[in-house]
Amino acid sequence: MSTTDSMTFLEHLGALRKHLMRASLAIIVAAGVAFAFRGILFDEILLAPKSPSFITYQWLCMLGEELGNASMCVQELKLDLLNSKMAGQFSLHIGLSLMAGLVLAIPFVLREIWLFIAPGLTEGERQKSVAFIGISSMLFFAGAFFGYYIITPLSVQFLANYIVSDQITNLIEMSSYLSTVASIILACGILFQLPIVVYFLSRLGIVTPEGMRTYRRHSWIGILALAAVITPPDVFSQIIVTIPVAFLYEASILVSKLAQPKPL
C-alpha cells in the first residue's frame, strides 16, 4: 500500500472518529437533559402506560363505546412494580437516560452520518441525499410514537391482565417493565427506517419491487402474526397495529420502484 493510500485511509479513520465523537457528544448532552428531568422521563412517559387513564386506553374506550364493545375499555391494570436491587433504580435511571438521549439525538446522529459520507458523493447525489436526514428523522420519531402510543399500551394491557392461574400474583421487576417499554419504542423507531433501508438496498440492486411484491403475502402473514402476539385478543386492536406496519411495507415497495437504477 502506498503512502498516499495509507494517508487517505488514515484520513478517513480520522474523519470517522471526529463524526463519532460529535454524535456521541450529542447523545450524552441529550441524555444529561433526560437524566435531569427524571420526573418527566419516568412518571409522565415510561410509567404512564401502566395507568388506566393513559390516553390510548381512553381512545380505545371511546372507540369501544361507538362500536358497542365495552370490553375495549381498560378498567384495571394489575401491574405492581418492585425493585429488588440496592442500586437498581439508579442503574435504570442512567441506562434509560442514555436510551432517551439516543432517541432525542437521532437527527444529530444522522447528520453526522451524512457529513461523513457526503464527500464521497457527486454534487447531484449530495443534493438528493440532504433529504435523508429529515426523512429518516421523521420516520424514526413516527415509529417511536407508534411504539409508545400503540404497541406499548396494547402489550402492557394484554400482559398485565393475562392470568394462567388465580393462585399466581404478578410482581413485575421494575427493570423488566421499563426495559420492555424502552425497547419497544426504540425497536419501532428502527422498524420505521424500512423505507430508507429498502431505498439503499434497491440502489445497490439487492432488493427489487418485484421481489417485494412476490413476498408480499408472506410479509402480510408475518405482520398479522406479530399483531396477534403483541395485542389483546380482539380484532380492533390487531387492526390498529396491522394497518400502519402494512402501509410501511407497501410504501417500501414504491420506494424500491423509484430507487431502481436506470438501465444504461
Span 12-41, mean pLDDT?
Answer: 93
Q: Which helix H or strand E contains 228, and what residues bound it?
A: helix 216-230
What's the confidence (pLDDT) of residue 171? 84
Specify the residue for cell string 362500536.
67
Share of the chain above pLDDT 90, in %: 37
pLDDT, tens digit, 9 for 90 and up, residues 178-221 = 988 998 899 889 889 999 989 888 888 888 889 889 888 888 88
Residue 189 · residue 103 · CB < 8 Å: yes
Q: What is the pTM of this model?
A: 0.83
pLDDT band at 35 (very low <50, low <70, confident <90, very high): very high
- Looking at residue 133, its pLDDT comes to 84
Write the pLDDT tens digit of every residue in 133-170: 889 999 999 999 999 999 899 888 888 877 888 888 88
Task: Tell me the mean pLDDT in the region 48-63.
Answer: 90
Mean pLDDT to the nearest integer, 54-71: 85
Q: Give start and end residues of each alpha helix (H) in 49-146.
A: 55-67, 88-104, 106-117, 123-146
Q: Where are the domains of the chain?
A: 3-188, 193-264
Q: What is the mean pLDDT of residues 235-254?
A: 83
